[in-house]
Chain A
């Protein structure tokens, strides 16, 4: 059976894409956040907050605005879907020192989010130690019914797993040209979420890092400017540089 049939892909009028993951209803917002409606959980992966300032520390003066932009998106998503909890799928901060570099304004936005919903910080490889000053609780993984939420995907097929870490991107070609976008990648059994941070780049889903994760050819749900677009393996191209 092919992945497209079991996924129940259904574009919604707000630009999001409804899909079924391991039997559970889910909705990918055009921002890259995944809403698990049955559990009122908004899942976001790899925010890499304070990545700009991390580069600045090494001499590349990227704008110190990524945290503000990422949290602005998250606040907008939270206001739109009013989840009971927000699950950060790891690598929420770019490095160990990152949360201490946050501006007061940005920290305030995070605290407001903590009042609007329960925050769950899944630990990733960039942020192994939860910061005691942040609202919410830390966890290594979270189970919601048949779903298991963790940072790094297990190497073998893992039904029900929702993970991040890889920052999937798809390069999609049509006769009119090619575009490269962040995407969710799934075979219907497990899913890898796009990175949510404003300064997070991506890894092409055709990269060997994705090989062996899926039991059958996966489908991508790519983040367009206004809506999510599904695409199959035949439209995917490797990166050219």
Chain B
């Protein structure tokens, strides 16, 4: 508790009265934020959920506005930016209460992509004191001719859930928007808010303006969460990802809770768990489903029912990682692998928004490796050791988009703009040469030939400043900006009558999903079984089906890879027999079997097993570095094994291990050579250049840089996702004729970071160099069982499939233990 005299200096009496009327006293970090603001300092506030974080972010602005007569205010005073539209709207509602009750003459309004045109127009003419919006709306403001006038009196910008924004292209774009705002309003303060931050310094560097320091303010630590493993009768399966074995216990836990959030990692798992829970739901509990493919109206309905306290549980994916507060949630259940400690803290924080009571959570491991992972995550959370993301280097395709936006707003001087861009954290080390290349990309497409001089999008005006070529260019830019890319989505609609006519829309699914389905095939979506009737244009037409064993192809893997921090914990836990004591008996026994039948290696070593099975030979390696890095590694290993004459046939990967099978034995392969670090040279480059991942990455960069447009003026929004030209054709031509083109460089970087995890693979190879422990076995090991179970399981995880899998699994286990 801060002392009262200091309080009164910081808080005007009507604020203090309001706190008192609520039966509260202002929290130390709330007052601290006011004090920092009055000293003109930027600040990052880290406070647990339920700690009055949002109010702390706005309190300095409210205090300042309370002392300003309305006529003295000109533009927006405080700009609030949230990663979610819904959050901006929710904060608008939450702010209105203190404003009203304190009796402040302050207006606060949200503005998102869903805000009506009339309100947006009015906001431009009569700016509210506090404007609540999203990064994309800020980018639009930056590309508006009126931006300088609108923001020149801006006093403060508040960035909420900052941990969810900074390490992405969206964050790059936002950082450039902030640089612009600081240029327009040099006195502007920046405030960042977050509940879960591993490394505050990374975020402070990201959000700071140039060398201006950002103060760190911490709220009180909340009560540590209570996290337990839910072990179904003490038995965890050897393999699998669905946690089907534990559903009865999960249901029971939901029944006993007030309100539960059941988190899963993929939409497939969400659909599966939802179905399984409803099979058990004899009490008819209101259990709902929420994931990114459901129609927005459907999701809004679930959120509203949740807010009204009408639901017992929601099965959800990362779509509910962030969001508005639901006071009633008292239990969080994580089904299957947690993947990383930070995400878990975020998810667990969705339960119990009171500081003094611990949040409660269950982890439900779906297999024995996941038991290790869940235990490791539990320890990380208890020690508050979160996984961090390094400071990003800003993407140049995003910079290209920003430069065009700046030119749409007003003519710019390139030296001044370079200096401004360098005040954005991710772009602080931007070289003048790269800036010039990016400016040329924006202006002419960046081609070595000067063919496009007459088609420039940017031209120099008589004063030597860069400006946009014409109004048409500006209009098209505003339609296409943003750094969020979504895959091509097809609408799922109920077929009407015998003819293929689309009716009510029930959601959206990625185009690729339907590659595997033929008309008549059944699948589960939005909690029901459907049969595919046909596909017309952008619509997938379905009919309700009653199939009890729907064909349910795997629906994308988890997009999250096991964090390196958690992976290290798992390796350490496995290598240290003394640490096994905390693990459940069945997992303990399994580790013991592995030691007896194969080998347990030290934390910094890597185990590789080779063994024959059927008419094939297998190589299984256990790097524990996440599925992405493993997939890249397996791809490169197969190339090497091919050259070595082993005739590899295929491979499979998960977060823990990878398995390659071949026609010829691999027992005599020199494993130190096989895993030598030089595979990251030519082998990687050769493979990457031809891979679909580069083409996909290139498409993303071409869209963000504005080389290819998603939308044309006057086109309906609906068809807007399709690009107007095949980027694969451009990729091929550029690669042949201008291999040093800037966008190829951007694509290479994106693919290396996001799709193949090249950095992590490099770390892995360096870590295990000279420490590969090769064990030649005459049959598979206990650890190898789950890997072999992964093979071929993709196609039919329905009920019949499960029976087959169970049978196959027991055979495999018997074989390992024979």
Interface residues of A (CB under 8 A from B): 53, 55-57, 59-66, 68-69, 103, 173, 177-178, 198-199, 201, 238, 240-241
Contact between chains at B733 and A201 (CB < 8 Å)? no
Q: A69-B733, A238-B535 are in contact. Are A64 and B452 (CB under 8 A)?
A: yes
3 A-B pairs closest in CB distance: A61-B445, A64-B451, A56-B455
Contacts A56-B455, A177-B515, A241-B490 aside, 12 further interface pairs with beta carbons under 8 A come to: A55-B725, A59-B457, A59-B476, A61-B452, A61-B457, A63-B730, A63-B741, A64-B451, A69-B733, A69-B736, A198-B733, A201-B729
A178–B722 CA distance with the chains assembled, in angstroms: 19
A241–B734 CA distance with the chains assembled, in angstroms: 25
A residues in contact with B730, CB < 8 Å: 62-63, 199
Contact between chains at B737 and A60 (CB < 8 Å)? no
Q: In chain B, what residue has the closest Cβ to A50?
A: B451
B71 touches A (CB below 8 Å): no
Q: A68-B737, A198-B733 are in contact. Are A63 and B511 (CB under 8 A)?
A: no
User: In the assembled complex, how far is the CB of residue A110 from the closest CB belonging to chain B, in whole angstroms?
Assistant: 17
A residues in contact with B431, CB < 8 Å: none
A residues in contact with B707, CB < 8 Å: 60-62
B538 touches A (CB below 8 Å): yes
B251 touches A (CB below 8 Å): no
Contact between chains at A199 and B737 (CB < 8 Å)? no
A201–B722 CA distance with the chains assembled, in angstroms: 14
Contact between chains at B738 and A240 (CB < 8 Å)? no
Interface of A is mostly: loop
A53–B538 CA distance with the chains assembled, in angstroms: 30
B residues in contact with A65, CB < 8 Å: 447, 449, 733-734, 737-738
Interface residues of B (CB under 8 A from A): 444-445, 447, 449, 451-452, 455, 457, 472-473, 476, 488, 490, 511, 514-515, 535, 537-538, 707-709, 722, 724-726, 729-730, 732-734, 736-738, 741
A residues in contact with B488, CB < 8 Å: 241
Contact between chains at A201 and B726 (CB < 8 Å)? yes
Contact between chains at A69 and B737 (CB < 8 Å)? yes
- Ordered by A's residue number, 28 sampled pairs between the chains whose C-beta atoms are within 8 Å are A56-B455, A59-B455, A59-B473, A59-B476, A60-B708, A60-B709, A61-B452, A61-B707, A62-B445, A62-B730, A63-B445, A63-B447, A63-B733, A64-B447, A64-B451, A65-B738, A66-B733, A69-B733, A69-B737, A103-B451, A199-B729, A199-B733, A201-B726, A201-B729, A238-B535, A240-B515, A241-B490, A241-B538
Which residue in A63, A178, A241 is a CB contact (below 8 Å) of B738? Answer: A63
B residues in contact with A173, CB < 8 Å: 515
User: In the assembled complex, how far is the CB of residue A95 from the closest CB belonging to chain B, in whole angstroms?
Assistant: 14
Contact between chains at A56 and B737 (CB < 8 Å)? no
Contact between chains at B726 and A103 (CB < 8 Å)? no
Q: In chain A, what residue has the closest Cβ to B709?
A: A60
Contact between chains at B452 and A56 (CB < 8 Å)? yes
B residues in contact with A103, CB < 8 Å: 449, 451
Which residue in A64, A69, A178, A201 is a CB contact (below 8 Å) of B449? Answer: A64
User: In the assembled complex, how far is the CB of residue B678 from the closest CB belonging to chain A, in whole angstroms?
Assistant: 27
User: In the assembled complex, how far is the CB of residue A238 from the closest CB belonging to chain B, in whole angstroms?
Assistant: 7
B residues in contact with A56, CB < 8 Å: 445, 451-452, 455
A residues in contact with B473, CB < 8 Å: 59
Contact between chains at A61 and B455 (CB < 8 Å)? yes
Which residue in A61, A62, A63, A240 is a CB contact (below 8 Å) of B535? Answer: A240
Contact between chains at A241 and B737 (CB < 8 Å)? no
User: In the assembled complex, how far is the CB of residue B558 from the closest CB belonging to chain A, in whole angstroms?
Assistant: 21
A178–B692 CA distance with the chains assembled, in angstroms: 13
User: In the assembled complex, how far is the CB of residue B85 from the closest CB belonging to chain A, in whole angstroms?
Assistant: 26
A177–B688 CA distance with the chains assembled, in angstroms: 20
A11–B725 CA distance with the chains assembled, in angstroms: 32
Most buried by B among A56, A60, A61, A173: A61
